[in-house]
Amino acid sequence: METKCISFACPICKAEYEIFLKDIPYLMLMNCPHCKKALSCFEGRVRHANEELIKDIREAKSYSDIKTILIRYDKKKKNNNNKIELIDHVISKDDIIDLKIDLNNAKTFDDVMKVIDGDAKK
Ligand SMILES: [Zn+2]
């Protein structure tokens, strides 16, 4: 019997796997054998799947449904990542002008470092 091989790496623990199947399915849901996290494999792309995603996929009625669900999931994940990187205060115009004036007054490298340090502590 001819088999097809799918190889992939778990995005969480980085363990690598090869699965042999008669046909390559367009979607697989499984648990990583190593870290036991839920994974989805869709069109060769492996994602860490949370409960919400698995539930959505189970309720999907068609191929395009799944595609829409995954695009939405990726977008949401990206937004969450962006939120973590967001600074905790808004830099105002005054902050920038202050820094410019301070830097103008700085004569030596140490002075510049003091300005930057002082700004970080604000
Ligand atoms: Zn894993």
Q: For the segment 80-98, what is each residue's pLDDT rounded down to a tens digit?
A: 877 655 555 666 777 777 7
Do both 70 and 33 map to the same domain? Answer: yes
Q: How confident is the model at residue 79 (pLDDT cuts 50, 70, 90)?
A: confident
Q: What is the pTM of this model?
A: 0.60
17 Cα: distance to centroid of ligand 1 (angstroms): 10
8 Cα: distance to centroid of ligand 1 (angstroms): 11
Do both 73 and 25 map to the same domain? Answer: yes
Do both 13 and 65 map to the same domain? Answer: yes
108 Cα: distance to centroid of ligand 1 (angstroms): 51
36 Cα: distance to centroid of ligand 1 (angstroms): 6
Do both 52 and 102 map to the same domain? Answer: no
30 Cα: distance to centroid of ligand 1 (angstroms): 10
Do both 44 and 97 map to the same domain? Answer: no
95 Cα: distance to centroid of ligand 1 (angstroms): 45
User: Between these two residues, 13 and 117, which has the higher pLDDT value?
Assistant: 13
Do both 72 and 122 map to the same domain? Answer: no
Report the number of distinct structural domains present in the chain. 2
**Domain that residue 37 falls in:** 4-85
Q: Which of 43, 41, 52 is nearest to 11 (CA)?
A: 41
Which residues are close to ligand 1, an ion, with C-beta < 5 A? 10, 12-13, 32, 34-35
